Every structure is written in structure tokens, then in C-alpha cells.
Chains A and B, each alone.
Chain A
Amino acid sequence: MKGEIVLEAKGINKYFFSPEKTQVLKEVTFQISKGEFVSVVGKSGCGKSTLLYILSTMDTDYEGALFIDREEMNTKSQKYHSKIRNEKIGFVFQFHYLLNEFSVLENVMIPGLKLGKYSREELEHRAMEKLKIFGMQGHALKKANQLSGGEKQRVAITRALINDPLIIMGDEPSGNLDKKNGDIVFSIFKELTQEFHQTLLIVTHDQDFAAATDRIIEMEDGRIIRQ
């Protein structure tokens, strides 16, 4: 069920200049089609996170071309990148990164409020629906810092989903969780691809996790060696 291409990287090179000039990404080129569940693996330090920050438009300091939804990103403004992140990309971090000042429900709703596509009432309803999928509806009114690590990660994934993004990116989303919670997160992703045809790009160290995805992109020393 290969669909249209939602994300494309063409010849991406990335350098860091401190302490000295080092190239951490070398001619990275690949495509992701709609509905694919792709994992990125590779040794520590090979440039996976760096790549993900570029793909998510948060890092714009690179050479090469990035297309999201067939739209070229390099020439666009920061403001436009923000809009793309809000509308088309859901990001899940290794550390749970919720807004501790807000309740679980508000955390999930904020990207939606920012997008402004739905009214507050509709958004609340949608957020609750999505929290329900992950069995988190009972925690909706807790403050974010009152949750366990696994719960936080489920909320973070819910938040990434609220605007029905084109693609969800994750940087070792289960890396900081125990086996049981890691499995829960993995099964959530699986469910998202199978039932909702959600496109996923997940960086992982977990061989079992990677093996169960549709496609593995393997990196070494800043290059893609297999995909």
C-alpha cells in the first residue's frame, strides 16, 4: 500500500564547526511514502538525531534539499517552518517533554489551539477521544508532571497526533522507558499505522522494535548504508 511521497531528503550534508569542522551527515537521500512505518537505526553518534532535527525543520543549517508534502522547505521562512511543524509534523522526544505548567488535556490541545482549525470544544472532544485510545482519559485533568514516564510518553504521542499530522517523527521514544512501557509505545505505533495509516519515522536502538517496522534505514558514520 505505497502511497504518495510525504517526505523526501535529497543529498543532505550537515557540518558542525565546533570544536572543528566535522561532517556528521553525508549525502543523505531517501523518501518516505504515505502510510509507511520506517525505523532509523545505527550506532550512537552516527547522526540519527541530527537528521531528525533537520527533517522536522527545527534545524535549517544544512546543505541539500528537503521536501515535506512535496513542498520544498529550504527556501521557506522560519515562520513557515513553524506552521509546517504545527500542521504536518508530530514530534515525540526521548525525554517526555510535556509542558509542566499545563494539565494533560491542555498539553494535548495546545498544538490544536495553535492551529486554530477546530473550536475549543471540538478540540477538547478530539483530545479526549485520542487520550481514550491510549487509555489515558482518566488522567486528563492531572498536571503533566504528576504522570509516570510511560504515561507521559503516551500523552506526548497523543499530542503529536492532535492535528492529524502528515508524519510523526520520534527520536528514541521508548529509549527512556522500561521494557513494558517500551512495548506499550511500540504497540501504539503499530496500531497507528495499521488502523489509521499514520506515517511514522522512528529512530531506535531497539533491534526488535526495528525488525517489526515496514522498513529500516540503517546509518553509519553519517551515511545511509541500507534502506
Chain B
Amino acid sequence: MKISLTLEIAKSLMLARLKQTTVAAVGVTFSLTMFVALLGFMNGLNTMLDGLILNRTPHIRFYNEVKPNPNQPIDQSEEFGDYYNIIRSIKPSASRISIHNNEAIVKTLQEDPRVLGVAPKISAQVFYNVGTINITGVINGIDVEAEADLFFFQDYVTAGNYIDLKNTANSIILGKGAADRMMAEIGDVIQATTAQGNRIQLKVVGYYQSGLGDLDNVQSYASIATTQKMLGETASYITDVQVKLKDLALAPSMAREYRDVFGIDADDIQTVNAQFETGTRIRTLISYAVGITLLIVSGFGIYNILNMMIYEKMDTIAILKAIGFSGRDVNNIFIAIALTIGFVGGGAGLILGFLAGLGIERIPFETEALPTIKTFPVDFNPKYYLIGGVFGLVTTYFAGYFPARKASSVDPVDIIRGK
């Protein structure tokens, strides 16, 4: 049968019961609105919370761990080399936490096509001297530009200009927590002592606030050159090489690969931050579950209304069959009604969901912990709209399926006789 006729009859049946049809469509609209708004919001939050850690975490970090030499003298001796030697209380040797030959390593990494960027770093334990009190801290010596490019350093500098760190000699950007404790204003000069006992005067050019309080209480940033000078090391002294990849998923395999090539330790982001992925996945799962539940509930609404319509329209169905419509034709008419409700209600739902997303995105959301966030984050990924739309149509189809089958099996003789 021609689709146009099916649609025409479906349309007339719906118009004859406009109110119920509208209620059914509004049910779909509501659930799809909630579905996309919820998923958009949830995933916006997910991305933001993950970004909090993941943005600033290198995908691979190369470093030298302080640990005993696995190749102890007794193993090297000719006499005992073939024995199984047990040594108790081994101590780490005078360890090199500096990465040997780091320039070559950086160069090799930069030439790797999978690598987005490389940023060297120095971690230095220090005491900030405040009057007679010493506060422990860590000064990260960073390549300011690489750090800004790869790890959004500038986003977390809440006061002062991050680039001053590079342009001003002996400058420091203090962690907000540390600065508060020292009551150091921008422009002040603070004094720090390194673990080796060197004292150095540093000029505060900004505050750094990551949103993780523990971090902000200890971490501060200086340029690599300043840190090297502070530690009394040469220009080749680097303790960490941080790598950001084009594809995060490659991190574990690449970490393994280069660990062997360079003979140093390498941590990948998945191993270090496994818990974040789990959290993200569960939040996403919950939002899908809620969204799909809403859709199914609206599906029952459509089911009910179609069933009612079929009881009311028994005569119409009987006449249609008497004048030559087959069971399949009648079935198609009611499926068309269900799908129209799904299509119109769902379309409106997707648009309203998008608007709801825009609305949520405007709600102010300011917290000390998240300096870069001003409003609620919303993810407008078309994926959610696609999934919502498809699920909406599938539910309405199934909601229409059983009533339509019932309609198609109406026996016209029963109805005509029953009059």
C-alpha cells in the first residue's frame, strides 16, 4: 500500500484524538529532553573532573627512581655470579635522580610521530623560610612555554602572569596554599632552602591554584634555569621528562617500549590514574540507565494511548478491513502513528534538551577549588543526540508494535455483527 495513504489515515486518526496523541508525544519529549540534558551535563562534569587531573598529568613520565642497584657487586664477581645470592638490608647507592643524557632522550621523543610534545622538569625538595619556621615544599622547575602548551599551566595561574616566570630571573609562582601560609604577596621576595642546604631568594610573580588543596599547599613553580641554579647543578640537570601523546591509549605500550630503550623508569597515565576512568564510566552508565528508563516509561504511555485508540476505533478498523485493507495495512497505520509520535515528540525533545543544555551552561558555578570553571560544564557531543533519537524511535516502535498487531488481527465480522 502507498505510504501516503497510510500516513493520511494515520494523521486523521491522530487528529481525531489530538489530546491523547499530544500527551503521548509530550511524554517522549520530556524523556528525551531529560536524556540529552542529563548525559550532556554528566559528561560535561566528567570531562571537567577528569581534566582536573588528566590535563596536567603527563601521559608518560620518565624519571630515575631512588632504589638499590639491582646489579650488586656479588652478582658481578666471577666466583658467585652463578649463585643465588641473598643480601639483606641493601641501601640505595648515591643515586642519580638526574636523567643521564636527557637531551638525547628529549630529542628522540620529539622525533617520534606519536608524541605531541615533550616537557622536561626538575623536582626539588625545599623549605620555605618564614621567619623562624620552615615550611616544606616542592619547587618544580619547568620549561614555561612547553608546560603551558601541553599542560595548560597558564589556566592555573590565578594571579600574576605565568610568562613572568620565564622573563624574570629568580622568580617563583607559589602554590596558593603555600602563599597563604607565608602571607606572600605578588612582588614579595621569599627565601627558600634546598635539601642540599643552598639558600636562595625568589621573587613571587604569581599564584598557582590547581583545585587540589594538598597540591597547592606544597607545589610551586620556577623556571628550569632558576631551579638548576638553586640546586647548584649544571644546565643538563633534569629529573623528569614529561611526554604528552597524540593518543592517550598508546601510553602503556610506549612507556614499556621506551623504558627498555632508555634504561630509566617510565610511568604511564593509565597505571597512575586508573581510578578516574572507573569513576567516569560509572557516572556515564548511571546517566544512560536513568535516560533509558525515562524513555521506556514514555514508551508505556504510548502503548496505553494506542491501545485505547484501538478500542475506540474498532469500527474504523473493521470498515477499513471490509473495504479491502489487509491486516498488514492496518498494522502499518498504527505503527505509523506510533512512529509519528516518536518522531515529533523525540525531535522536540532533542531541541529542548539542547536548549536545556544551553541553560545549564549559563548557571554560574564558581568554587575555590576550580579556578578555571565559571559555569556548569555541558558536553554537546552529537553522539548523545543520536543515541537519544535512535532510542526514542526504537521505544516508540515497540510501544506501537503490540497495539498495532492487535489492530491488524481485528475480525471485521465480529465488529459488524456486534453493532
* B interface footprint on A85-123 (CB within 8 Å = 1, 0 otherwise): 111000101110111111000000011011110000000
> Hey, which chain B residues are within 8 Å of A113, CB to CB?
2, 5, 8
> Hey, which chain A residues are within 8 Å of B318, CB to CB?
97
Task: Give the distance in Å from the alpha carbon of A78 to the alpha carbon of B412 in the complex.
Answer: 13
* A interface footprint on B1-36 (CB within 8 Å = 1, 0 otherwise): 110010011001101100000000000000000000
In chain B, residues 331-365, which have Cβ atoms closer than 8 Å to a Cβ of chain A? none
In chain B, residues 178-219, which have Cβ atoms closer than 8 Å to a Cβ of chain A? none
Once the chains bind, are B323 and A79 in contact (CB under 8 Å)?
no
Once the chains bind, are A91 and B322 in contact (CB under 8 Å)?
yes
Task: Give the distance in Å from the alpha carbon of A52 to the alpha carbon of B321 in the complex.
Answer: 15
Q: Does A4 contact B (CB under 8 A)?
A: no
A202 CB to closest chain B CB (Å) equals 16
Once the chains bind, are B13 and A49 in contact (CB under 8 Å)?
no
* A interface footprint on B291-327 (CB within 8 Å = 1, 0 otherwise): 0000000000000000000000001101111111111
Count residues of chain B with CB under 8 A from any CB of chain A.
Answer: 28
- Given A58-B412, A101-B12, A101-B16, A78-B323 contact (CB < 8 Å): no
Q: Does B66 contact A (CB under 8 A)?
A: no
Q: Interface size class for chain A?
A: 20 to 34
> Hey, which chain A residues are within 8 Å of B417, CB to CB?
49, 53
Q: Does B328 contact A (CB under 8 A)?
A: yes
Q: Does A82 contact B (CB under 8 A)?
A: yes
B256 CB to closest chain A CB (Å) equals 65
Residue of B nearest to A120 (CB): B4
Task: Give the distance in Å from the alpha carbon of A56 to the alpha carbon of B13 in the complex.
Answer: 26
Q: Does B416 contact A (CB under 8 A)?
A: yes
Task: Give the distance in Å from the alpha carbon of A114 to the alpha carbon of B2 in the complex.
Answer: 7
Once the chains bind, are B316 and A99 in contact (CB under 8 Å)?
yes
Task: Give the distance in Å from the alpha carbon of A56 to the alpha carbon of B417 in the complex.
Answer: 14
Task: Give the distance in Å from the alpha carbon of A110 to the alpha carbon of B419 in the complex.
Answer: 23
Task: Give the distance in Å from the alpha carbon of A227 to the alpha carbon of B163 in the complex.
Answer: 111
- Given A53-B413, A95-B419, A82-B324 contact (CB < 8 Å): yes
For the A-B complex, the count of residue pairs with Cβ-Cβ distances under 8 Å equals 76
> Hey, which chain B residues are within 8 Å of A102, CB to CB?
12
B18 CB to closest chain A CB (Å) equals 11
Q: Which of B9, B325, B326, B416 contacts A97 (CB 8 A)?
A: B416
* B interface footprint on A119-156 (CB within 8 Å = 1, 0 otherwise): 00000000000000000000000000000000000000
Task: Give the distance in Å from the alpha carbon of A97 to the alpha carbon of B313 in the complex.
Answer: 12
A73 CB to closest chain B CB (Å) equals 14
B294 CB to closest chain A CB (Å) equals 32
- Given A53-B413, A101-B16, A102-B12, A114-B322 contact (CB < 8 Å): no
Q: Which of B16, B315, B326, B413 contacts A59 (CB 8 A)?
A: B413
Once the chains bind, are A85 and B15 in contact (CB under 8 Å)?
no
> Hey, which chain B residues are within 8 Å of A99, CB to CB?
12, 316, 319-320
A220 CB to closest chain B CB (Å) equals 21
Seen from chain B, the residues whose Cβ lies within 8 Å of a Cβ on chain A are: 1-2, 5, 8-9, 12-13, 15-16, 315-316, 318-329, 412-413, 416-417, 419
**Known A87-B324, A98-B319; further 8 A-B contacts with Cβ < 8 A:** A53-B416, A93-B322, A97-B315, A97-B322, A99-B320, A101-B13, A114-B325, A114-B329
Interchain Cβ contacts under 8 Å between A and B, 12 examples: A53-B413, A53-B416, A82-B327, A83-B324, A84-B324, A85-B323, A86-B324, A86-B325, A100-B316, A101-B16, A101-B316, A110-B320
